[in-house]
Amino acid sequence: MEAVRRLDERRRILTELPPLTAVLRVESSPAQPEETHRELLAALDEPRSIEELLDLLPANDLELLEAIGDLVREGVLVVVDMVGSRLNFCEADETLAARTGALRLRRAGVEGVLRIGVLAPAARELARFGQALRALREFRPELEPLTLIGEGALGALGRLRVGGFDVELFALPLDPVARPIWGALLAQTTVALLIGPEALVEELQSLSGVLDVRIVAAPAASEGPAEAAASLRALLGTRRPRA
């Protein structure tokens, strides 16, 4: 009976909210926010859809939907995009091929999450790439901020769910001082994605040989969601993303 009641309550709340695809942003600060409200506001460090908030936050969906409704009615949260523009990284008929491609990039004997390094000469390019990834339905961003090292940055961008298999995208700085740590951080995979000019591949060729990591240049990967998805899908050997 309790489960039925909660389901009915969820349906009622959803009728009072924008669609789950609606993108929200923080408009003002509440006077005395409750704990769930504070968690929501912290997650909205940038505009996010309601469905993304439900995925990101640990509170149960009913509590979160109630809190979102409260904050929308109070004017603390506003809708900036009613529909939301998100891409499917992988359609049902491509799932197996995408998963196979991801597994093929993992070194023999390695289990668990596959980590793919993302190299960029500047932190701003990594930030744009991470923002583009957030428009993919299968991507779950990392909440911890990247660590700045020289002109670049270090840290997890998030995880892409590919056919039930997780691919972690991990930012690595190009700063020569930081390159000694690449070996440990790329030990799981045979490939890294370079968000930068193709000329840098030649510069990194000797290091690529030492690490036994193929570096693939994707200069346009940070330009938008479709470009980010296309770059990753090229690594997996699958076709272009579908809207």
The CA distance from 138 to 141, in Å, is: 10
* 151 has pLDDT over 80: yes
- Which spans in 134-189 are helix H? 182-185
The CA distance from 167 to 109, in Å, is: 16
Please tell me the least confidently modeled range out of 3-7, 69-73, 120-124, 189-193: 3-7
Please tell me the least confidently modeled range out of 2-6, 26-30, 114-118, 230-234: 2-6
Q: Confidence class of residue 243 from pLDDT cuts 50, 70 and 90?
A: very low
> 40, 48 in Cβ contact below 8 A?
no
* 131 has pLDDT over 80: no
CATH number for the domain running over 92-236: 3.40.50.2300
Amino acid symbol at 159: R
* 80 has pLDDT over 90: no
Q: pLDDT digit string (tens) for 132-146?
A: 888 788 888 887 888
pTM across the whole model: 0.63
Which helix (H) or strand (E) element contains residue 12? helix 2-16
Q: In whole numbers, what is the pLDDT of the chain averaged over residues?
A: 82
Q: pLDDT digit string (tens) for 165-217?
A: 889 999 998 888 888 888 888 888 888 899 878 788 888 888 888 888 888 88
> 25, 78 in Cβ contact below 8 A?
yes
Burial 56-93 (b: 16+ CB within 10 A, else e): bbebeeebbbbbbbbbbeeebbebeeeebebbebbeee
Predicted pLDDT of residue 182: 87
Q: Confidence class of residue 221 from pLDDT cuts 50, 70 and 90?
A: confident
